[in-house]
Structure 1
Amino acid sequence: MTADANLLTGFRLRNAEQHLGAYGIHVHREGHEPVEHRFRADDRVNVYSGSKTFTAVAVGIAQGEALLGLDDAVAGFFDGVPTAAGNGSITVRDLLQMSSGNPFNWFEPASESPTDIVARWLATEPVRMPGERFEYSNASTYLLGRIIHAVSGQDLREFLIPRLFDPLRIATPQWFRCPLGFPEAARGLHLTTGELARLGRLLLQRGEWEGTALVPAGYVDAMHTDVVDTSHTGDEPEATAGYGYQVWNSTVDGAWRIDGKYGQFSVVLPEQRAVVTITAHNERVPFDLLRAVWDEVLPRL
């Protein structure tokens, strides 16, 4: 067995012993060929909240094209929609950091979802000041996707196809849509492990892909350094290390990640110049997949 193949031996054993539910793991290291192991067929799967990071990247691209600013008021993108007074000072940055103070989070199942999510959010009075407290919210990300449509005339998926998906060779991605026909933005994007890994690699490279800057480097830097406190969210260390622009900081120094339900992860490791990406279905403790990476993969990078 080659040294590269040995990279994943410990993770494969941990996955089997602890029933971690991994579908696949992909390791990118600068200067090396990628290493991947499959536990099942390499099908596209729902990356759930991993979709949020693609939406955040769209915001960075739009900022780079001078279509919006992070301190722009959210309500200003939706003229004519009735807006509760307290929503007037909420900014794009507040949505990125999930600290708007608006309690409508859009966690309802599809059968109970409001038809117009933007209208419901704008009509809901905030319960605290913008920036005061992190509260996880699908609605925040959905609004970001609708802002992309407002400033570009293209829905989120259409906006990203020439700017991100095509350069990363992610062909015709499926993205679930809301009742009004817009991509859900916060969830519902379907990708293979390797396709998700390409976004992780792009972030490691500060927005550059094969010699072309797809996302402004300064924005990528801010994604994981302009963070809000999440220490109040519980006892899980991987959920309390801080939240940036639709990405989570991790317990390993310098590490940050794309993070989706049931164990969809792409972990950016700047110190190791590496990215570790996992797709999985772990309904018990998906963060055990990250701990398996810290213990079994990180020391071998």
Structure 2
Amino acid sequence: MTDELFTDFVRADREQALGAYGIHVHQEGRPPVEHRFRSDDRVNLYSVAKTFTAVAVGIAESEGRLGVDDRFLDHFPELRAIAADGFEHVTVRHLLTMTSGSGHLWFADRRVDALDLLHEFVAEPLVAEPGTRFAYTGTGFYALGRLIARVTGADLRAYLLPRVFGPLGLHNPAWHCCPLGFPFAESDLFLKTGELARFARLLLQSGVWEGKQVVPPDFVDRMTTDRVDMKEGDAHTDGYGLGVWLEPGGTYRMHGAYGQLAIIDPARRATVTVTAHTDDDTPLLAAVHDLVLPRLG
């Protein structure tokens, strides 16, 4: 089963230099299978971390600590004095869907020079009305990580340890932090291929892990139904949800730079997880869709 499933993908990796480190397939009713191209080490998941942050927001909402439609500044009233005009209308949902309208552009691979990155984000002038413009950036998810710390008293990683990382058996994951000690939230979470595959399986199972409801099922549903359109898509991208990329045909994915992928396919009751390092991950994503998913029936 393993050789048959991965034969074409392994050939494509060799011929096209896809850069795969490992690929893991889970399908309900079958044992999980994995193929390694190099040692199984924890790697930076880059923007896949955004999905973990979104799930933290969903759990916090179920605990009554916040609401997805809360205005962000209602939880940070001390920042109203420095907030850009219009930022008072930015909601948690806008941050989850990257539609805050902020002109602030930042990702975790960039040095943080501001005394407080959150203050810099809130003060940045808006370039669009909140909810009207999708713009891919990391600052909104960093702000969500700060929100989790504000409403729970625990930083994002500490909050998820007993709620997600622990139940999934993800022991002591590293998550790089800003100069103030808050996890970057949008990136720099480190896991193995198979460890990320457990999280993908958790979403496939509507938030249930080994009989326990870890993530509220309604929030897992809303991750794909609360969608926003993008000006430019591609063959495998049809919008953005709450921390996930939406694909044509009902699949959706977590997607990090350099080829970190976790595709959830509800119709096939399957997930495909890849860790990699490639400067252009478009062929890698295409190979998963063309050479792996169709073999699952």
Same fold (TM over 0.5): yes
Residue 281 (str. 1) matches residue 247 (str. 2): no
Aligned residue number for residue 61 of structure 1: 59
Query: Secondary structure of 2:274's partner?
Result: strand
Displacement of 1:101 after TM fit?
Answer: 0.2
- Would you say the 8 A contact 1:5–1:35 is kept in 2? no
Aligned residue number for residue 262 of structure 2: 266
- The normalised TM-score by structure 1 is 0.95
- Name segments (4+ residues, structure 1) moved above 6 Å: none
| Pairs within 5 Å for 1:32-43 | 32-43=30-41
Aligned residue number for residue 239 of structure 2: 242
Distance 1:247 1:164 in 2: 17
Aligned residue number for residue 116 of structure 1: 116
Q: Percent same amino acid among aligned pairs?
A: 50
> In structure 1, which of residues 291, 294, 297 is the aligned counterpart of residue 286 of structure 2?
291
- 5+ residue gaps in structure 2? none
| Pairs within 5 Å for 1:79-94 | 79-81=77-79, 82-94=82-94
Displacement of 1:238 after TM fit?
Answer: 2.9
Aligned residue number for residue 300 of structure 1: 295
How well do the aligned residues superpose, as a CA RMSD in angstroms?
1.3
- The normalised TM-score by structure 2 is 0.96
Aligned residue number for residue 51 of structure 1: 49
- 5+ residue gaps in structure 1? none
| Pairs within 5 Å for 1:143-292 | 143-230=143-230, 232-233=231-232, 236-239=234-237, 241-251=238-248, 253-283=249-279, 285-292=280-287
Query: Secondary structure of 2:34's partner?
Result: strand
Displacement of 1:8 after TM fit?
Answer: 0.9
Distance 1:189 1:109, change over 3 A: closer
- Would you say the 8 A contact 2:112–2:179 is kept in 1? no
Displacement of 1:108 after TM fit?
Answer: 7.3
Letter in 2 for 1:132: T
Query: Secondary structure of 2:77's partner?
Result: coil
- Would you say the 8 A contact 1:141–1:186 is kept in 2? yes
| Pairs within 5 Å for 1:12-51 | 12-51=10-49
Displacement of 1:9 after TM fit?
Answer: 1.0
Distance 2:271 2:7 in 1: 17
- Equivalent pairs counted in the alignment come to 294
Displacement of 1:183 after TM fit?
Answer: 0.2
Distance 1:272 1:87, change over 3 A: same
Distance 1:289 1:165 in 2: 27
Distance 2:114 2:235 in 1: 34
- The superposition leaves residues 18-52 of structure 1 with CA deviations (integer Å, 9 ceiling, x where unpaired) of 00000000000111111000000000000000110
Letter in 2 for 1:164: V
Displacement of 1:112 after TM fit?
Answer: 4.9
- Would you say the 8 A contact 2:84–2:125 is kept in 1? yes
Displacement of 1:125 after TM fit?
Answer: 2.1
Displacement of 1:118 after TM fit?
Answer: 0.8
- Would you say the 8 A contact 1:238–1:287 is kept in 2? no
Letter in 2 for 1:156: L
- Would you say the 8 A contact 2:26–2:270 is kept in 1? yes
- Would you say the 8 A contact 2:260–2:274 is kept in 1? yes
- Would you say the 8 A contact 2:108–2:186 is kept in 1? no
Once the two structures are overlaid, the 10-residue window that deviates more, 17-26 or 6-15, is 6-15
Displacement of 1:177 after TM fit?
Answer: 0.3
